[in-house]
Every structure is written in C-alpha cells, then in structure tokens.
C-alpha cells in the first residue's frame, strides 16, 4: 500500500490523481515503477508505446511467457488503486517468488500498460493494443487527427510508435508497426 501511496503522488494535476498517456507524470510513474521492478530483479524496458515491461526469464529452454499487470494511466481525479494495484501486486508476487528461490517453468512479464483510460486522445487501450499487435495505422491516423484538431502544429505526427527498433508482436508486422520488444 505504501507503493500505491507513493505512485498516487505522481500526477498531472495538483490535488487530483491524473496520469495521461505519454505525459510527464506518466514518464515519472514509469521511472518509479521501473525502479521497483529492478529491485525485484526484473529486466526492465519500455516498448515503443511507453508500456513498462519487467521480465524474469525462466531457466527452462523454450519456456512460454506468462503476463501479469494492469495499467498505470488514470482517468481525471482517479483513485490510487484502479490500475496500479494490478501492476504493484504482480511486482510483489515476483519479489516473493525470488525471495523463496522459486524457479518458474515459464518466463514472467509484469506489464504496466501506458494507456487504458483513453483520456488524452479519447481512444482507449492504446498501450495494450500496441503490445498485442492490434493497433493499426488507421488508429494512429485518428490520433493524428485529434492532435491536429486540438490546435497542435499540423506537422506534428505521432512518432512514438513509428521507427522504433522493437520486435513486433503477432499481427503487428502486417500493419508495419514496430510493437513490443
């Protein structure tokens, strides 16, 4: 619960818990949660869609991967447990397994998805859809349109998911999207 309190203090809006996709608060949240993942012994990275991923590799050759987690973004004026509790509980479970020296027959990935709530672009599940390889070029174009309509420079394009050297998740290659890692 201490970690939920600490994470709850990271916000885009003073006096409220608000963390929107790709905002400064989300970057700070990923940095903090990433540090907790590293303390647990997970290998940590961010994918092209700003999903935070902690991985514990199994010693078993050819092991499948088991995912645990939730989202780290919030609605405006959110509660502090909604998404983060799933991520923090997964980190705590990994820590307990390591402390007990339990060897897993599968790889474990703890994921903090970057966007479930859709507050910034009114398009929910950007992070998990990118991770799963179901985010399409048409989805990205709609985000570009919303960005341009909100008065930002027309030349600005959503580049966070283009041109990144990440391994594609299933389904992403057919859309020429560099997703996952």
Helix axes 24-39, 84-99, angle to 10 degrees: 20
What is the reported pTM?
Answer: 0.80
Question: Using CA atoms, how far apart are residues 170 and 146, in angstroms rounded to an integer?
Answer: 27
In sequence order, what are the residues at sequence separation of 6 or more whose Cβ sits closer than 8 angstroms to the Cβ of residue 103? 58, 59
Tokens of 173: 């290659």
Task: Return the H-helix or E-strand segment holding 167.
Answer: none
The pLDDT value recorded for residue 161 is 54
Kindly list the averaged pLDDT for each block of 10 residues, start to end, along the chain of length 181.
93 93 93 98 94 97 95 91 92 96 96 91 85 82 58 41 42 40 33
The pLDDT value recorded for residue 139 is 76
- Cβ–Cβ under 8 Å, residues 120 and 105: no
């Amino acid at each position: 619960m201490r970690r939920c309190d600490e994470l709850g203090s990271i916000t885009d809006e003073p006096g409220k818990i608000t963390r929107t996709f790709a905002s400064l608060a989300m970057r700070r949240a990923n940095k903090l949660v990433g540090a907790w993942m590293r303390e647990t012994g997970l290998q940590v990275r961010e994918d092209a869609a700003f999903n935070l991923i902690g991985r514990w590799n199994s010693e078993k050759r050819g092991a499948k991967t088991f995912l645990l987690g939730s989202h780290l973004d919030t609605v405006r004026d959110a509660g502090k447990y909604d998404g983060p509790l799933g991520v923090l509980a997964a980190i705590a479970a990994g820590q307990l397994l390591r402390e007990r020296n339990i060897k897993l027959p599968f790889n474990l990935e703890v994921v903090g998805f970057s966007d479930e709530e859709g507050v910034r672009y009114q398009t929910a599940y950007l992070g998990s859809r990118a991770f799963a390889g179901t985010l399409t070029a048409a989805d990205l174009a709609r985000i570009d349109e919303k960005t341009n309509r909100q008065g930002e420079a027309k030349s600005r394009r959503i580049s966070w998911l283009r041109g990144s050297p990440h391994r594609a998740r299933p389904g992403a290659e057919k859309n020429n999207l560099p997703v996952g890692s």
